[in-house]
């Protein structure tokens, strides 16, 4: 290798190792890619999600929740994404999914016409001078809520199918958001990034372990005050910056708000047991298993075989850089690489 070529190669290597690999969309994005997230806890108590349908507000209680995002179509700078939420009853013979709502006295039964329920219970709630007629419907079958929305690939913005802006997708791009950036707009109020930092922890999910470092993300608090219920919450997530992929999340999620699900907060038994087992050493061990929905399955690995059945311990960034270095050596030698991509 001549001195000039050697200098150029060393310069290229230095740039690759020192510069982050950034893009307006993740390298794995293509039509047909799906990401599934899951949580299950047979000791779950109370509602785990809030849903607005045709102007009516519902709370949903279940032991488990599976959320699947699928990239249905990529056209120009826009991805059309389908999302399916499956609320799961527990494993007991009497376990069921429960859907709650309330009215100011009107019969609530017609509000459940979209639901194939097996039982309905009504009752009055008296709070000060306000009286509400509450209702809860039960079903022993999984409850499915699904819809579609758009993501603009240039900046990660989420839009409903009728063009209403929601915020930034949580599926990717969290690593690039800064404190005080707007994550989403909720009830007309911008909800901004409160904290976004890299942590030296390996994140455990149902899919597998994602080696450190990873990212931890919080939004500001946002609140919702409905006729019969109120809450105040943050969006929380853990993500892998090398893959630009969200690993766990809970709270108000722009991608779900786009299809009417304005809040998710499922309990996860695996996370609960892990944190209980390690309660005296959580700040010391290099592992995290967080509450909420965590990555359960994906076919991202089929994208040029860069994502194996379990994430590599060394991380994809290293594999990517090594492949570029090999390519650089071959080119400098005047050779040609043959065979499959690494």
How many CA atoms, within 13 angstroms, populate the side-chain half-sphere of residue 281? 6
How many CA atoms, within 13 angstroms, populate the side-chain half-sphere of residue 306? 19
Query: pLDDT (tens digit, 9 = 90+) per residue, 284-317?
Result: 778 899 999 999 999 996 444 444 434 333 333 3
Residue with more model confidence, 20 or 113: 113
* Of the listed ranges 116-130, 185-199, 208-222, the one predicted with least confidence: 116-130
What pLDDT is stored for residue 339 in this prediction? 32
Query: pLDDT (tens digit, 9 = 90+) per residue, 32-73?
Result: 999 999 999 988 767 899 999 999 999 999 999 999 999 999
Give the integer Cα–Cα distance in Å for 247 and 296: 9
With 0-12 / 13-18 / 19 or more C-beta atoms within 10 angstroms meaning exposed / middle / buried, residue 286 is exposed
* Of the listed ranges 112-121, 129-138, 277-286, the one predicted with least confidence: 277-286
What pLDDT is stored for residue 47 in this prediction? 86
- Per-residue CA distances from 117 to 49, 72, 138, 214 (Å): 18, 30, 5, 42
Query: pLDDT (tens digit, 9 = 90+) per residue, 195-228?
Result: 999 999 999 999 999 999 999 999 999 999 887 7
Phi then psi for 226, rounded to 5 degrees? -100, 175
Q: Sorting pLDDT into bands at 50, 70 and 90, what band is 173? A: very high
pTM of the model: 0.81
The proportion of the chain whose per-residue pLDDT surpasses 90, expressed as a percent, equals 67
For the chain, give every domain's residue range. 3-9+23-96+140-332
Query: pLDDT (tens digit, 9 = 90+) per residue, 130-139?
Result: 899 999 999 9
Average pLDDT, the chain: 83
pLDDT exceeds cutoff 80 at 119: yes
């Amino acid at each position: 290798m001549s001195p000039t070529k050697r200098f150029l190669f060393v310069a290229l290597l230095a740039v690759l190792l020192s510069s982050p690999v950034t893009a307006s969309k993740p390298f794995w994005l293509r039509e047909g890619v799906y990401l599934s997230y899951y949580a299950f806890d047979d000791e779950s108590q109370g509602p785990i999600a809030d849903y607005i349908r045709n102007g009516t507000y519902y709370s949903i209680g279940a032991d488990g929740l599976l959320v699947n995002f699928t990239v249905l179509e990529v056209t120009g700078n826009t991805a059309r994404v389908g999302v399916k939420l499956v609320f799961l009853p527990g494993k007991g013979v009497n376990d069921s999914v429960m859907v709650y709502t309330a009215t100011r006295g009107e019969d609530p039964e017609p509000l459940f016409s979209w639901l194939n329920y097996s039982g309905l219970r009504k009752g009055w709630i008296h709070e000060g001078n306000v009286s509400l007629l509450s209702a809860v419907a039960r079903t022993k079958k999984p409850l499915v809520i699904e819809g579609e929305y758009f993501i603009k690939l240039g900046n990660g913005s989420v839009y409903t199918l009728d063009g209403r802006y929601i915020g930034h997708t949580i599926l990717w791009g969290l690593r690039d958001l800064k404190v005080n950036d707007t994550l989403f707009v909720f009830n007309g109020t911008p909800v901004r990034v409160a904290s976004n930092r890299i942590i030296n922890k390996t994140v455990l999910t149902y899919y597998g372990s994602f080696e450190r470092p990873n990212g931890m993300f919080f939004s500001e608090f946002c609140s919702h005050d409905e006729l019969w219920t109120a809450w105040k919450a943050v969006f929380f997530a853990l993500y892998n910056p090398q893959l630009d992929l969200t690993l766990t999340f809970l709270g108000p999620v722009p991608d779900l708000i786009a299809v009417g699900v304005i809040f998710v907060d499922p309990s996860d038994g695996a996370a609960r047991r892990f944190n209980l087992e390690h309660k005296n050493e959580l700040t010391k061990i290099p592992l995290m298993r967080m509450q909420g929905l965590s990555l359960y399955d994906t076919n991202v690995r089929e994208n040029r075989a860069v994502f194996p059945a379990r994430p590599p311990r060394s991380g994809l960034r290293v594999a990517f850089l090594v492949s570029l270095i090999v390519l650089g050596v071959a080119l400098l030698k005047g050779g040609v690489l043959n065979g499959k991509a690494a």
